[in-house]
């Protein structure tokens, strides 16, 4: 009698090996489709990326990128941010919406960095998630893009595409992170995150995906749900935040 445990069922009923091969094929094609994929928040230091990511909640990357140069020119490090005049910072952050709450969050984050990490952004997930307003998603953005530490960033686009592509049926972001991460080598996690987010913003939209021009439609179990006509589908394409 075999002592091997039976394989866990996959989201699409394919074998675990077939799922892994399909998942990796999808990422290879998306890598070819989006060779410039990267974080769409502008930054030059880990602190700038951390703050920009926190500020990006409930607004667009475009607005954050238009606002942070003024923010960091005025308050260039954690000590300066922690000691900022709230009223002055509110005026800088006003274009982002929720500017009072975002001012409190930015100052509180900077104060925590000073108190716990001497003003430096830590390069470990377990440290980052202890900071106010920083969860696994934000931590993985910072780790992957500022420190080169592989991580999967499960935002709304990543979660939606992971389920549409049949990579997982999980809804909880942490479970999505672990389920999808198991299909890829850790070294590929950060770029995988960029590929799926870029594809979600440009082609695989929430309400009406442009399936007729999708480069990975042949490997997608949901490819029949969107616009099939190539001409009509092409009109649905979006340039993304930098377009």
Nearest CA among 93, 36, 88 for reference residue 59: 93
- In tens, the pLDDT along 79-112 reads 999 999 999 999 999 999 999 999 999 999 999 9
Helices 173-181 and 156-164 meet at what angle, rounded to 10?
60
Residues 210, 224: Cα–Cα separation, whole Å: 10
* Residue among 27, 102, 137, 188 flagged as catalytic: 137
- Whether residue 85 lies in the annotated active site: no
Confidence of residue 2 (pLDDT cuts 50, 70, 90): very low
- Whether residue 137 lies in the annotated active site: yes
Q: For position 9, what pLDDT does the model report?
A: 78
- In tens, the pLDDT along 130-139 reads 999 999 999 9
- Which domains are delineated in the chain? 16-37+152-234 (1.10.1670.10), 46-146 (1.10.340.30)
3-state secondary structure of 161: helix
For residue 40, pLDDT beyond 80: yes
For residue 240, pLDDT beyond 90: no
Q: For position 218, what pLDDT does the model report?
A: 96
Dihedral angle at the C-alpha atoms of 26, 27, 32, 36, nearest 10 degrees?
140
* Residue among 42, 77, 127, 155 flagged as catalytic: 155
Confidence of residue 43 (pLDDT cuts 50, 70, 90): very high
Q: For position 151, what pLDDT does the model report?
A: 94
Sign of the four-CA dihedral 111, 112, 116, 121? negative
Query: Mean pLDDT over residues 154-180, rounded?
Result: 96
For residue 243, pLDDT beyond 50: no
- In tens, the pLDDT along 5-33 reads 445 679 889 999 999 999 999 999 999 99
Average pLDDT score, the chain: 94
Model confidence, pTM:
0.89
């Amino acid at each position: 009698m075999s002592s091997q445990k039976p394989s866990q069922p996959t989201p699409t009923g394919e074998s675990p090996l077939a799922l892994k091969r399909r998942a990796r094929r999808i990422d290879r094609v998306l890598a070819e489709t989006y060779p410039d994929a990267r974080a769409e928040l502008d930054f030059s230091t880990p602190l700038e990326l951390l703050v920009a990511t926190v500020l990006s909640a409930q607004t667009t990357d475009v607005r954050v990128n238009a606002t942070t140069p003024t923010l960091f020119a005025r308050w260039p490090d954690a000590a300066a941010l922690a000691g900022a005049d709230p009223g002055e910072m509110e005026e800088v952050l006003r274009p982002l919406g929720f500017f009072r709450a975002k001012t409190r969050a930015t100052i509180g984050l900077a104060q925590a960095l000073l108190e716990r990490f001497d003003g430096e952004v830590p390069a470990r997930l377990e440290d980052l998630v202890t900071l106010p307003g920083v969860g696994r998603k934000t931590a993985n953005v910072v780790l992957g893009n500022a420190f080169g530490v592989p991580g999967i960033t499960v935002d709304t686009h990543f979660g939606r595409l992971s389920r549409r592509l049949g990579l997982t049926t999980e809804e909880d972001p942490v479970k999505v992170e672990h389920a999808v991460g198991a299909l890829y080598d850790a070294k590929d996690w950060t770029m995988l995150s960029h590929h799926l987010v870029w594809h979600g913003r440009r082609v695989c939209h929430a309400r009406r995906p442009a399936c007729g021009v999708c480069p990975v439609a042949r490997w997608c179990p949901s490819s029949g749900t969107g616009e099939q006509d190539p001409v009509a589908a092409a009109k649905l394409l979006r340039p993304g935040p930098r377009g």
